[in-house]
Chain A
Amino acid sequence: MERDQLKSVLESLLFASEAPLTVSRIGEVLEGADKQEIAGLLEELKTEYEASGRGFRLAEVAGGFQMRTPKENAEWVKNLFRGRPARMSKATLETLAIIAYKQPVTRAEIEVIRGVDVDGVLSTLLERRLVRIVARKDVPGRPFLYGTTQEFLETFNLKDLSNLPTLKEMEEMTLPPENQDAANKETSSKE
């Protein structure tokens, strides 16, 4: 396939897809297309959308690529859907943060950190599919171990878990480098 045509096809796939598309999935769809080339073209599209000021961007989330509206248009897009998305309470976010950084983690371990019971919050998170039970811990009582899900990555616009901001252990935040093209390709083609 010609490069221009491939780019156009890629754009169509992204447009038609409901879930983030991984490079490997695109590879499957476009039998035989070169993954390196796909990854390169995706980056190109991403840059183009950003520069063009269009009403959509290409976001890298949950190991794949997805068309999303830019934040500055949120107000109006929200109006389109009436009602507001369920807000996440502080308790929910804190519990989610602990699970995200400490996974796999048991309920008791979360409770030690938060200093309060997390029963209700945990079931909310499970229900919203932001976390899931990943295994049982090999200790007496075999408690459940919790971890985050794909939905978590999608909801919080995270490429993968290593994309989480580093915990503020020392006073300074070490910001993850903005553009890791090489790393991106690696993660995407691993899928």
Chain B
Amino acid sequence: MSTSVKLEVFEGPLDLLLHLIKKNEVSITDIPIATITEQYLATLELMQSLSLDVAGEFLVMAATLIHIKSRMLLPPGEEEDEEEEGGDPREELMRRLLEYQRFKEAAEELEQREILKRDVFARRPEIPDEIEAGGFEGVSLFDLISALRQVLERFPEERVHEVTLERISVREKMSLLLDDLHRRGKVVFQSLFEAAASRLEIIVTFLAMLELVKIRAVRVLQEERDGPIVLELAAPLEDIQERMAQGKIEGEGDGA
């Protein structure tokens, strides 16, 4: 593209308004409503022309701005609306902008703090070698997915487009996982992904694990709310392999 339009991502209509106010070097307490309204509408148009989804909130604000602008044009005391008589028609907007700005600044301050795992690090909870049995609770899919998210954090969104994708099927991965579980007994969820080389592989592993849970070959346990998620075989390996061989499972041949 030859035209370089730098359109910032606005968090919402208030964010956009603050941006325009700052750009015009005007004060929140004395907004030149005509200028700002015009620029606000122009930005919306630009957003639309770029096929960005302009949320309803932006349009509501546009209407509010136009309404304020029209009221500003009326001589004082001639407002039609009794309720709105007197006072600056911009007052309510001004109050909202000031309040939003306070929190926007507070957010910036939070961002500048020494954030754990970004600026400072604490010792990470060690994954215990052996987890004592007993007292385990079932784990919800939600827990598994948030654990998966953590694992995926290790791999930033793929920036390089890989052309040669390793093809690992869910089915293959299931067998590998079973062997692994058989050999190691109880295994911590995260450690299943240690050898994974890509997001794809992590996801395939995850799907394979879900599949194993579904066919009741594997049990997923967690001792406490924030504790490690642990997997173990739910039946002797031979039984499971037999069941799988007999094709009593779904999800066969699911390539990835």
**Chain A residues with a Cβ under 8 A of chain B:** 15, 17-18, 57, 59, 66-71, 74, 77-78, 81-86, 88, 90-91, 93-94, 96-98, 100-101, 113-117, 127, 129, 154-158, 164-165, 167-169
Bound-state CA distance A165–B100 (Å) is 16
Q: Is the CB of B117 within 8 A of A101?
A: no
Task: For residue A148, give the distance in angstroms from its CB to the closest CB of chain B.
Answer: 11
A85/B118 contact (C-beta < 8 A), A94-B103, A96-B107, A117-B57 known:
yes
- Is B135 interfacial (CB 8 A cutoff)? no
Residues of B close to A168: CB separation below 8 A: 102, 105-106
A83/B103 contact (C-beta < 8 A), A115-B61, A156-B113, A165-B109 known:
no
Contact among B106, B116, B156 with A101 in the assembled complex (CB-CB below 8 Å)? B106
Residues of B close to A94: CB separation below 8 A: 11, 103-104, 107
Residues of A close to B15: CB separation below 8 A: 115
Stretch at the interface among B38-46, B120-128, B205-213, B238-246: B120-128
Q: Is the CB of A165 within 8 A of B106?
A: yes
A-contact bits for B215-255, CB 8 A (1 contact / 0 none): 00000000000100000000000000000000000000000
Chain B contributes a number of interface residues (CB within 8 A of A) equal to: 43
Q: Is the CB of A69 within 8 A of B120?
A: yes
- Interface residue ranges of B169-220 to A (CB < 8 Å): none
Q: Which residue of B lies closest to A157 (CB)?
A: B114
Q: Is the CB of B57 within 8 A of A93?
A: no
Q: Is the CB of A91 within 8 A of B11?
A: yes
Top 3 closest pairs, chain A to chain B, by CB:
A116-B12, A93-B107, A97-B106
A116/B57 contact (C-beta < 8 A), A67-B122, A84-B156, A157-B113 known:
yes
- Interface residue ranges of B124-162 to A (CB < 8 Å): 124-126, 146, 149, 153-156
Q: Is the CB of B12 within 8 A of A114?
A: yes
Residues of A close to B96: CB separation below 8 A: 113, 115
Bound-state CA distance A168–B96 (Å) is 15
A-contact bits for B93-104, CB 8 A (1 contact / 0 none): 000100110111
Known: A71-B114, A115-B61. 10 other contacts (CB 8 A): A68-B122, A69-B121, A83-B155, A97-B110, A98-B106, A100-B106, A113-B99, A116-B12, A116-B57, A156-B115
- Is B55 interfacial (CB 8 A cutoff)? yes
Q: Is the CB of B106 within 8 A of A74?
A: no
Which one of A81, A94, A115, A158 has the highest number of Cβ atoms from chain B below 10 Å of its Cβ? Answer: A115
- Is B78 interfacial (CB 8 A cutoff)? no
Q: Is the CB of B12 within 8 A of A115?
A: yes
Q: Is the CB of A116 within 8 A of B120?
A: no
Task: For residue A106, give the distance in angstroms from its CB to the closest CB of chain B.
Answer: 15
Q: Is the CB of A93 within 8 A of B120?
A: no
Task: For residue A127, give the distance in angstroms from its CB to the closest CB of chain B.
Answer: 6
Bound-state CA distance A98–B15 (Å) is 15
Q: Which residue of A lies closest to B120 (CB)?
A: A68
A-contact bits for B1-18, CB 8 A (1 contact / 0 none): 000000001011111000
Contact among A74, A90, A115 with B118 in the assembled complex (CB-CB below 8 Å)? A74
Residues of B close to A114: CB separation below 8 A: 11-12, 14, 100, 103
Q: Is the CB of B116 within 8 A of A157?
A: yes
Q: Which residue of A lies closest to B125 (CB)?
A: A18
Which one of A18, A83, A97, A154 has the highest number of Cβ atoms from chain B below 10 Å of its Cβ? Answer: A97
Interchain residue pairs with CB less than 8 A apart (6): A71-B120, A91-B11, A94-B107, A114-B11, A117-B57, A127-B146
- Is B119 interfacial (CB 8 A cutoff)? yes
Q: Which residue of A lies closest to B99 (CB)?
A: A113
Q: Is the CB of B103 within 8 A of A85?
A: no
Q: Is the CB of B123 within 8 A of A98?
A: no
Q: Is the CB of B14 within 8 A of A115?
A: yes
Contact among A18, A71, A90, A101 with B11 in the assembled complex (CB-CB below 8 Å)? A90
Q: Which residue of B lies closest to A71 (CB)?
A: B119
Q: Which residue of A lies closest to B108 (CB)?
A: A93
Residues of A close to B149: CB separation below 8 A: 86, 127
